[in-house]
Structure 1
Amino acid sequence: MTLLKSIGAVFAGLLVNVIFGLGTDQIFHLLNVYPPWGVPMTEISDNLLALFYRCIYGVAGAYATAWLAPYAPMRHALILGGIGVAISLAGAVAAVQMNLGPAWYPILLVLVTMPCAWLGGALYRRSKG
């Protein structure tokens, strides 16, 4: 049962990242802040905006994971971070190969994932403090 709770906590944090990230992307596409889906985002400001809110959602997802973890909340947050690094790395490889925008953006996503996960876990630990 504890294993299922651990998996659920990590999955919930992943859902926070995906739902809020893609939801915000969709809103910015609908508002014409971003180009239409399928058109590369080449503007530095668009990519910085996306990086900013993805960092916030990464911290929030790790916080949610830590909050839901049945034990060792920081470990769970960092496991989520490791999964996020793997997903971000796969996305970075695909984005660079498909020329979906500047290469620095997906590379930075890979690099900020673990610090965001750690921060989410640390904020949770501090709130319990």
Structure 2
Amino acid sequence: MLRKIPIHLIVSVAAGIATAMALSALTHEILHLLGVFPAIGEPNFDTRLTLIAFFYHSIYAIIGAFVTAIIAKEKAKKAVFILGTKEAIMWLLGIILLWHQAPAWYNLSKAFAGIPLAMVGGKLYELYKLSKQEKTKTVVR
């Protein structure tokens, strides 16, 4: 029997992916225009630059997961886990498909970090939700 996947779950994951991808592409392009990074699609085996990319990709993965959780609301944990799993799978594929673009450790690190980074974004959403509830309680009193 086929289970129906709620559309808002799909939209929330897609929004998180789009957010992280857009921020990453924009940052990479800005760093390229500043002469720091090679153009998108050009190999990058410089450890310092790869670490910079890992750092901002990680921050944007957390932001993407936060966006996913905001849209998913009551299904936030499930949506964030789906997003993190997608990240892990895609970066594992990246080891194979992008072996000539970056060091293997970069894609492997992103694969291992995919789910934990998404969970951090989900946890930030929970904290955000709690702070909103606390503010509402304070106003009601």
Amino acid at match of 1:44: T
Of 6, 14, 32, 1:3 maps to: 6
2:134 alignment counterpart: none
Aligned to 2:90: 87
- How high is the TM-score relative to the length of structure 2? 0.83
Letter in 1 for 2:36: V
1:1-129 paired onto structure 2 within 5 Å: 3-96=6-99, 99-129=100-130
Opposite residue 120 of structure 2, the aligned amino acid is L
C-alpha spacing 1:12/1:31, structure 2 compared with 1 (3 Å): same
Amino acid in structure 2 at the alignment position of 1:47: T
Residues 6 and 70 in structure 1, CA contact (< 8 A), matched pair in contact too: no
Q: Distance in 2 between matches of 1:29 and 1:95?
A: 19
Question: In 2 relative to 1, CA 87–54 (structure 1 residues): closer, same or farther, beyond 3 Å?
Answer: same
Separation in 1, partners of 2:84, 2:53: 18
CA RMSD of aligned residues (A): 1.6
TM-score by length of 1: 0.91
* Deviation of 1:28 (Å): 1.1
Unaligned runs of 5+ in 2: 131-141
Give me the whole-angstrom Cα distance separating, in 2, the residues matched to 1:24 and 1:37: 11
Give the conservation status (yes or no) of the 8 Å contact 1:5–1:70: no
Q: Which has the larger radius of gyration?
A: 2
Q: Mind listing any 5+ residue stretches in structure 1 that lack a counterpart?
A: none
Q: CA deviation at 1:115?
A: 0.7
Percent identity, aligned pairs only, is: 32
Q: Secondary structure at the match of 1:7?
A: helix
